[in-house]
Amino acid sequence: MSGRSFPVTFGAMLAPFLIWAGHFGLVYAINGAVCARSPEGAMLFGYPLSVALVAAATVLAMAWVAVLLVMALRGSGPAGHVASADPRRFARWFVVAGAGSALVAILWVGLPALLVPACG
Amino acid sequence: MTLRTDEPRDEFPGGRPTPSPIPRPPGEEEELRRLWRLPQGIARVTAVNNSQVGVWYIGTALLFFLISGVLALAIRLQLAVPGNDLLDHGTYNQFFTVHGTGMMFLFAVPIVEAIGVFLLPSMLAARDLPFPRLSAFAFWAYFFGGIFFFCSLIFDAAPDGGWFMYPPLTSYEHSPGINTDFWLLGIGFIEISAIAGAIEIVIGILRTRPPGMTLDKLPIYAWSMLVMAGMIIFAFPAVIVATALLEIERAFHWPFFIAERGGDPLLWQHLFWFFGHPEVYIIFLPAAGLVSMMVPTLARRPLVGHDWVVLALVGTGFFSFGLWVHHMFATGIPSLSLSFFSAASMAVAVPSGIQVFAWIATLGAGRVQWTVATHFLFGFLFIFVLGGLTGVMVAVVPFDWQAHDSYFVVAHLHYVLIGGMVFPVFAGLYHWWPTLNGRLLSERLGRWAFWLMFIGFNVAFFPMHISGLLGMPRRVYTYPGDLGWNLLNMISTVGSFVLALGVLLVLIDIARSTFGGGQKAPDNPWNAGTLEWLPNELYATRSIPHVTGLYPLWEQPDLPREVREGAHYLPGAPTGRRETIVTSPIEAKPQYLMPLPGPHWGPFLAGLFTAVHFMCLTVQWYYPSLVPAVLAIAMVIWWLWGLDTGADHPPQDVGGGWRVPVYIQGPKNHSWWGMVVLLLVDGTAFACLIFTYLFLWTVSPDVWPAGGGGLPGLPWLAGGLALWGLSALAIGWARRAVDRNRHGHVRIGLILAWAAMVVGILLDANAQIGTGLVAAASAYGAIASMLVAWQAFHVAVMTLMLGYTLARSAAGLLHAERRVTFDNTLLMGWYSAAQGSIALLLLHLFPRLAI
């Protein structure tokens, strides 16, 4: 069995955290930019623009991590194909545990959008 | 390509044959000793062995710790009584700035990297880290730069703006003179040394592991260093960019932070804390890694929840980047943004908590040996948990608004940093000292030192929580006597001297051992299970073991004997020079034999000249500064010239049926990995500049050109993109010519790429200047000029790299089978072209498209 590419395997292991980081950067950028530059009182789907965009980003990020979680639980995805048994099991466990953590973290960071005024 | 002489024997425990037959041929070990011996006399400074450089590095960091600590004592003496005039306010400002800067930049980060340089190769059973001369250069740059930085105190020229250096306090108007420049140039350049160390550590951990040490068998300390080095790669460029912007503002009045001309002082805080908060975890995670190595040894059982601790380290590394704004809660940021950062600040406590519970569970489940290290570990747990709890308190925005800039925060940060880093490092000193000189430090002195430090620390810093809640602000050099702070401050001062006495005892113990005192240590005095306790000499272990578990010495009791007899991998020096095995990053299978460079004057002199160059810049000797700059570059070229050797030996048998090449090209080469990691650093710095551009636009869109007016015409954009594209294509064409050994075409390709880059940057600059852009006039002018200047800097770097590659081609040292130098130039060239294109697109299109 041939060895798996390091960037692919390591990237897969870090993917849940990378999605968390991307989500975090995005929600901060959305909030910062909207509060600084959008017209006063801009709304989207009946919610303040910033809140609506942050909520959408949170749902998307959580869905993406959930897909990774399901793939890892099924033993598929990039982390499922490294050469020897131990690293493969470890990589898969890492993706599952990381995805669980990232789901909680994304939700935790995204929740304020529902509770706090956007640009107060 | 890796060749195998027979079916490789992947597993060796249980009486199966070891990788190399024993007994070994006579003279093999003597050859290793000869190749790895240290230069003597004054030439000792040319040594590059990690065991030597690591010791120097640790010693220098402890020296800077001592100097910064003495400054802290002076600060505490000044604050012992109200209305004290021991220090005037200017001197006090210099003292607390140099104390904070010294502790954070010149002690905390360097010592964790130093311990890594010293410990990691033996923990991975590698003969050395992959870039020994880079390590040595990083050390000497740090050494000379640090000495130079502290000398500023003698001349009353030390920085005085606090270790955070907030503008406008540090602007040219409010902080004239060279004090601030000492910080900006001195620290900025020392951080480059930290990045060099991080590159070394990443590649060392991923590529020089022993066969069998798959990713899941990597020691926790190596995981922690991997995360730390990754964090340095993505955090430190932010502070380098910030210091560059502030220094340029001070020198040329480009208004990045001046609100009247479209800048914003908050930009500094964003960039600084994007580095500054991860910095805390950059310091803490390696210390936590040390703890995770010591706890199983001292508890005599494997670490509980090993995999969870690894996950916690990686999670902490990520989450810590989401905390930077929690230093800015009081600056008027929108409440929703505050909430994101408050949430992340609380979330980061979870992975830290996982580690703490794993340590407690391991200690609880084991039979604890009560050594000095154990004392320091329990002290660490007590202090760090308290610091963590106050950390959660200040993560709550309303509480932070109350406690902000008070002594409560001083108490919190010292609990976290001293508890979370100094105590584990001191535990580590006592624990691993025998690997340094074969002697034990004194258990008796160590216990005295611990109790003095533990009691002194709590007496010094616990009262600060209360003085802070009573309203005492930080950074004040004195206070009136009727505010209820007098007794608390006196207690803190007494505690600080008790703490210092404990530190002094440790230093006396170290000095005593260094000069031959103390008890000789057995090979594995604490009965640890990891590889650094294998018998070793300057060449590291006699042979590189085959690893089958997390605690090889516990699982393979015969391993020390087998390794000492040369029964494992690479028991000699088959090519007659220093070398180590490079393994694949996930499965740790041998890939090639990496030649390691030996002693050389280049790293020492390059470090010295680099420091002199920055010293000249600090005192504004701009033209004279060119001399040491040229000399430093010449030294680097001197040490590099002999390194890309090509496949000068046939594939070698390293044991276990593995016959591996001695030279490898392309993405498997360690040098290629080094360049990729360097480009990640470079890309992060560029991303920080893009952030700067966008941030300044959000706060001051009025200084941006509107709707294309005041911008170069789009043909300039097309011309610029075409030239950057041409440079990329020309280097790619040269690559194909190298493949075919068509040397004339290689040289034409390289020269064409260089010409396209030079013309490209001249066109870009001309286009911007042609619009009447004045860098000092507005934030837009400043950041647009900065982006062009940043690209010009890359063209200058490419000039050097292309010139060097051409010189190697002319000297006959570049061909299809010897092309690592070329591949590195290729990567940098493509990166520069991509970066130039992105900068152009941003400069030309964003103002046209922005709302």
What amino acid is encoded at B248 in this protein?
I
Distance CA B392, CA B384 (A): 12
| CA–CA distance, B200 with B215 (Å, rounded to integer) | 18
Instruction: Give me the architecture of the B679-850 domain, per CATH.
Output: Up-down Bundle (1.20)
Q: Do A51 and B589 touch (CB under 8 A)?
A: no
Q: What are the Cα distances from residue B643, in Å, to B48, B530, B832?
A: 14, 32, 24
Q: In B740-778, where does DSSP find H-type helix?
A: 743-770
Are B339 and A116 an interchain contact pair (Cβ–Cβ within 8 Å)? Answer: yes
- Average pLDDT for chain A: 82
With an 8 Å Cβ cutoff, is B206 touching chain A?
A: yes
3-state DSSP assignment of residue A50: helix
Structure tokens at B421: 């880093």
**Which of A24, A69, A95, A103 to mutate: most B Cβ within 10 Å?**
A24
State chain A's maximal CA–CA distance in angstroms. 60
Between positions 328 and 357 of B, the ones with CB within 8 A of A are 334-337, 339-344, 346-347, 350-351
Q: Closest approach of chain A CAs to the CA of B110, in angstroms?
A: 27
Q: Which residues contact B737 (CB under 8 A, 6 or more apart)?
A: B743, B745, B746, B749
**Residue of B206, B214, B339 lying closest to A86 (CB–CB):** B214
| pLDDT at residue A82 in the model | 40
Question: CB–CB of B377/B430 below 8 Å?
Answer: no
Q: Show the DSSP H helices in B656-713 as ranges.
A: 670-699
Using an 8 Å CB-CB cutoff, list chain A residues near B586: 3-4, 6, 9-10, 82-83, 87
Number of neighbours of residue B121 by Cβ within 10 angstroms: 27
Confidence of residue A1 (pLDDT cuts 50, 70, 90): very low
Confidence of residue A114 (pLDDT cuts 50, 70, 90): confident
Question: For residues B248 and B255, what is the distance between their CA atoms, to the nearest angstrom?
Answer: 9
Of A100-114, B243-257, B492-506, the least confident: A100-114
CA B428/CA B380 separation, integer angstroms: 12
Q: What is the pLDDT of residue B670?
A: 93
Mean pLDDT of B113-127: 95
Question: Which three-class secondary structure state does DSSP give residue B582?
Answer: strand
* pLDDT, tens digit (0-9, with 9 covering 90-100), for B523-533: 899 999 999 99
- All residues at 6 or more sequence positions from B176 whose CB lies less than 8 Å from its CB, including other chains: none
Yes or no, beta carbons of A27 and B340 under 8 Å apart: yes
From chain B, the residues in CB contact with A6 under 8 A are 206, 584-586
CB contact at 8 A, B827 and B672: yes
Instruction: Report the run of H or E that residue B595 belongs to, with start and end.
Output: strand B590-595
β-bridge partners, A33: none
Mean pLDDT within B358-366? 95
Q: Quick one: closest CA in B to A51, which residue?
A: B336
| Confidence check: pLDDT of A92 > 80 | yes
Q: What is the mean pLDDT of chain B?
A: 93
Cβ-nearest to A87 among B308, B346, B586: B586
Strand partners of residue B659: B3, B653
Q: Where are the domains of chain A?
A: 19-115
Of A93, A108, A113, the CB nearest to B336: A113
Q: Which residues from chain A sit within 8 angstroms of residue B337, using beta carbons?
A: 28, 31-32, 35
Q: Where are the domains of chain B?
A: 48-516, 679-850
* B8-12, B36-40, B489-493, B690-694: segment of lowest average pLDDT: B8-12
Which architecture, in CATH terms, is B48-516?
Answer: Up-down Bundle (1.20)
Least confident of B253-257, B400-404, B487-491, B831-835: B400-404
pLDDT tens string B740-778: 999 999 999 999 999 999 999 999 999 999 999 999 999
Q: What is the DSSP string of B801-827?
A: HHHHHHHHHHTT--BTTB-HHHHHHHH
How far, in Å, CA of B600 to CA of A18, rounded?
41
**Bridge-partner residues for B583, per DSSP?**
B590
Q: Following DSSP, what letter does each residue of B3-16 receive, concatenated?
A: EESSS------TTP
Helix (H) or strand (E) holding B581: strand B579-583
**A27, A37, A94 ranked by CB distance to B851: nearest:** A37
- B342 neighbourhood in chain A, CB within 8 Å: 112
Residue B415 and residue B386 in contact, taking contact as beta carbons nearer than 8 Å: yes
Dig out the tokens for B507 from the structure: 């230093």
Residue B160 has pLDDT above 90, yes or no: yes
Considering only CB atoms, which chain B residues are within 8 Å of A87?
A: 214-216, 586-587
Res. A84 pLDDT band, cuts 50 70 90:
very low
Which of A28, A82, A98 is nearest residue B340 as measured by Cβ atoms? A28
Percent of chain B residues past pLDDT 90, beyond the cut: 85
Structure tokens at B230: 């990754």
B658-660, strands of its sheet edge to edge: B3-4, B658-660, B652-655
Closest-CA residue to B275 (of B695, B688, B683, B676): B688
CB contact under 8 A, B587 and A83: yes
The distance in angstroms from the start CA to the end CA of chain A is: 58
- Grade residue A86 by pLDDT with cuts at 50, 70 and 90: low
Do residues B244 and B787 touch, judged by C-beta distance below 8 A?
Answer: no
Residue B698 contacts A, CB cutoff 8 Å: yes
- CB pair distance less than 8 Å for B340 and A17: no
Identical topology for domains B48-516 and B679-850 = no
Going by the DSSP 8-state scheme, the letter that residue B601 receives in this structure is H
Q: What is the pLDDT of residue B432?
A: 97
Q: Beta-carbon neighbour count of residue B347 at 10 Å?
A: 22
What value does the mean pLDDT take over residues A55-82? 81
Instruction: Tally A–B CB contacts below 8 A.
Output: 118
Q: Which residue has 């020691």 as its token pair?
A: B219
Pairwise pLDDT comparison (B618 vs A42), residue with the higher score: B618
Residue B551 in this model has a pLDDT that exceeds 80: yes
Asked whether B225 and B205 are in contact (CB, 8 A), the reply is yes
Closest CA to B131 of B213, B198, B215: B198
Q: Give the CA distances from residue B257 to residues B509, B699, B772, in Å, rounded to whole numbers and listed in that order.
A: 48, 11, 22
Q: At B379, which amino acid appears?
A: G
- Number of helices and strands (H, E) in chain A? 4, 2
- Sign of the torsion angle spanned by Cα atoms B138, B141, B147, B153: negative
A2, closest residue in chain B (CA to CA): B587
Residue A20: which of A96, A76, A75, A100 has the closest Cα? A100
- Verify whether the Cβ–Cβ distance B335 to A116 is below 8 Å: yes
Q: Touching check for B657 and chain A: CB below 8 Å?
A: no
Reported pTM: 0.94
The whole-angstrom distance between A99's CA and the closest CA on chain B is: 11
Residues of A in contact with B307 (CB under 8 A): 90, 93-94, 97
The torsion angles phi and psi of B653, rounded to 5 degrees, stand at -85, 120
pLDDT higher than threshold 80 for residue B20: yes
Task: Give the residue-averaged pLDDT of B455-470.
Answer: 97
Percentage, residues of chain B above pLDDT 70: 98
C-alpha B359/C-alpha B57 separation (Å) is: 29
Instruction: Give the tokens for residue B132.
Output: 């020994």
Burial of A22 (0-12, 13-18, 19+ CB in 10 A): middle
Q: How many CA atoms lie within 13 Å of B126's alpha carbon, on the beta-carbon side?
A: 35
Q: Give the tokens for residue B796.
A: 């200058």
pLDDT single digits (tens) B68-94: 999 999 999 999 999 999 999 999 999
Name which of B579, B751, B744, B725 is nearest B654 in CA terms. B579
| Confidence tier at A81 by pLDDT (50, 70, 90) | very low
Report the distance separating Cα B274 and Cα B236, nearest Å: 9
Q: Give the C-alpha distances (Å, rounded to integers) separating B724 from B758, B767, B837.
A: 10, 15, 6
Give chain B positions within 8 Å (CB) of A17.
314-315, 318
* Residue to substitute from B215, B350, B672, B676, interface A, most A β-carbons within 10 A: B215
B343 and A112 within 8 Å at the Cβ level: the answer is yes
Q: Mark yes or no for CB contact B311/A97 under 8 Å.
A: yes
The closest CB to that of A21, out of B206, B318, B351, belongs to: B318
Report which residue type is found at B365: A
Both tokens assigned to B117: 């340089």
Bridge partners of residue A107, in order along the sequence: none
Task: Inspect the interface and report whether the beta carbons of A24 and B340 lie closer than 8 Å.
Answer: yes
